[in-house]
Amino acid sequence: MDSVQNWSKKELVAYILFYAANSNLSETNKERNVILSKVDMNTYQMVYDEFKNDNDYQCIQKIVKGLETHDYSKSDLKQLFLDMKILFFADGEFDQVEHVVFNWLKRIINDAA
């Protein structure tokens, strides 16, 4: 994949959702389906390949850089947070780890955007 600055908003959203889905170290089929509802299969695979090769630090750096690159409106951020909540609830529960990661990502995203 190209550098983060060249990612589309959809690619960035998919990357953030992959990060969120893996926050409790188990990504379910339902969570994958949520991500697939946001992007086409080709984009999904490209972003997944990028994500699986990154460590936690690299993920956060890419998320922050991607958010700085795109001009997110309050409406865009509201939709992103909604997408994250939908993903977290996709498997039927919003566990404590997911809740902590959601709040942490929300803070990082608000600071970067």
In the chain, how many domains are there? 1
Query: What would the pLDDT profile of 23-61 be if each residue is shown by its tens digit?
Result: 877 788 999 999 999 999 999 999 999 999 999 999 999
Residue 37: domain span: 4-112
pTM above 0.95, yes or no: no
Q: Is the pLDDT of residue 1 over 70?
A: no
Contact 85, 44 (CB under 8 A): no
What is the rounded (10 degree) CA torsion for 53, 109, 33, 100?
A: 90
Query: What would the pLDDT profile of 76-110 be if each residue is shown by its tens digit?
Result: 999 999 999 999 999 888 889 889 999 999 999 98
User: How far apart are the C-alpha atoms of 113 and 84, rounded to whole Å?
Assistant: 16
